[in-house]
Amino acid sequence: MPLQPVLDSTMYYRDLGTGSPMVFLHGNPTSSHLWRHILPAIGSGRRLAPDLIGMGQSGKPVIDYTFADHARYLDAWFDALDLHDVILVGHDWGGALAFDRAARHPERVRGIAFTETIVKPMSWQEFPDGGRELFQAIKTPDVGEAMILDDSAFLLGLPGTVATPMAEEELAVYTRPYPTRESRLPLLRWARSMPLGGEPADVVARVEAYDRWLATSEVPKLLITFRPGPGTMMTPEVVDWCARNMAALEIERHDGVAGHHTPEDQPAAIAEAVERWAAGL
């Protein structure tokens, strides 16, 4: 798999097929490994999936790993590969980065598909009960460091966010890039970036900016949903919000159960939905 020089570092990515590009963006604490079953199941086009900077097999430069940092390195990766007229497919923070990039570079985006992602800032009361206490702890000074940097809680908790058992070897692929406390910094920064209760202000501002774009842009959008499983973030209320507030949106609802990491639970359904939708663009 290629390793692309980007700014002062490198970004690893998967690259299958030829033709019109689709870019698949993962979230926290995963990597392009999340898309391992989906990329080969889509039968046409060029399918690419990078590891975000500091994550997976990408380089780990000494930066703050803010949302803006991730967007900056991702922009440089798109430019290095000269990718235009792209379909973006995002999960978790990968969906947020897809929305953010599309809002800033709409002329380079053909469509956006997303599942279990950050679609809007939330109050603490809106956030699902199961995750509220967890994220309150993560955002607490020293407590979050102990959980994620010292105890690898976010990584080791991955099996609790899927409806089907995660094999030990699959969990090992996700945990291997983070052998030290310092290497786990991107995971903590992402977790603390969740826009809850008006904080962090810089992330809230970026999400509000892409929400304005999502409300008016005629770029086609596809939301793929499943029956809620462990750790599901996009509740029926959030899905209804998307239906009311996103222009040119198609919602594909599946009866199968999926936890927060939908590509782990339902890769075939996601691949089929993306391929069908993309063919109609």
Active site residue: 51, 92, 100, 264, which one? 92
Average pLDDT on 76-98 reads 98
For residues 235 and 224, what is the distance between their CA atoms, to the nearest angstrom? 12
The reported pLDDT for the residue numbered 142 is: 97
Active site residue 92: yes
Cβ neighbours of residue 84 under 8 Å, at least 6 residues apart? 108
The reported pLDDT for the residue numbered 188 is: 98
Active site residue: 51, 69, 100, 116, which one? 116
Active site residue 107: no
For residues 6 and 75, what is the distance between their CA atoms, to the nearest angstrom? 9
Q: Output the average pLDDT for the chain.
A: 97
Pairing of strands 86-92, 221-228: unpaired
For residue 130, pLDDT over 80 is answered with no
- Burial string for 247-261 (b: 16+ CB within 10 Å, else e) reads eebeebebeebbbbb
Percent residues over pLDDT 70 in the chain: 100
Give this prediction's pTM: 0.98
18 touches 12 (CB < 8 A): no
For residue 273, pLDDT over 80 is answered with yes
- Burial string for 60-77 (b: 16+ CB within 10 Å, else e) reads beebebbbebbbebbbbb
Average pLDDT on 150-161 reads 95
Average pLDDT on 158-165 reads 96
Active site residue 150: no
Nearest 5°: the CA angle 221, 224, 225 is 140
Residue 115, amino acid: T
Domain extents in the chain: 3-121+201-279
For residues 135 and 161, what is the distance between their CA atoms, to the nearest angstrom? 15
pLDDT tens across 6-48, in order?
A: 999 999 999 999 999 999 999 999 999 999 999 999 999 999 9
For residue 228, pLDDT over 90 is answered with yes
The reported pLDDT for the residue numbered 214 is: 98
Average pLDDT on 192-205 reads 98
Average pLDDT on 199-208 reads 98
Nearest Cα to Cα of residue 260 among 15, 37, 94, 67: 94
102 touches 95 (CB < 8 A): no
What are the φ/ψ torsions at residue 55 (nearest 5 degrees)? -125, 160
Active site residue: 69, 260, 261, 265, which one? 260
The reported pLDDT for the residue numbered 131 is: 85
69 touches 61 (CB < 8 A): no
The reported pLDDT for the residue numbered 73 is: 98
**Domain covering 3-121+201-279: architecture:** 3-Layer(aba) Sandwich (3.40)
Return the residue matching tokens 């989906």: 38
Give the torsion sign (CA, 127, 260, 92, 275). negative
The reported pLDDT for the residue numbered 232 is: 95
pLDDT tens across 243-262, in order?
A: 999 999 999 999 999 999 99
For residue 221, pLDDT over 80 is answered with yes
For residues 248 and 53, what is the distance between their CA atoms, to the nearest angstrom? 31
Alpha-helical regions (H) of 82-114? 93-104
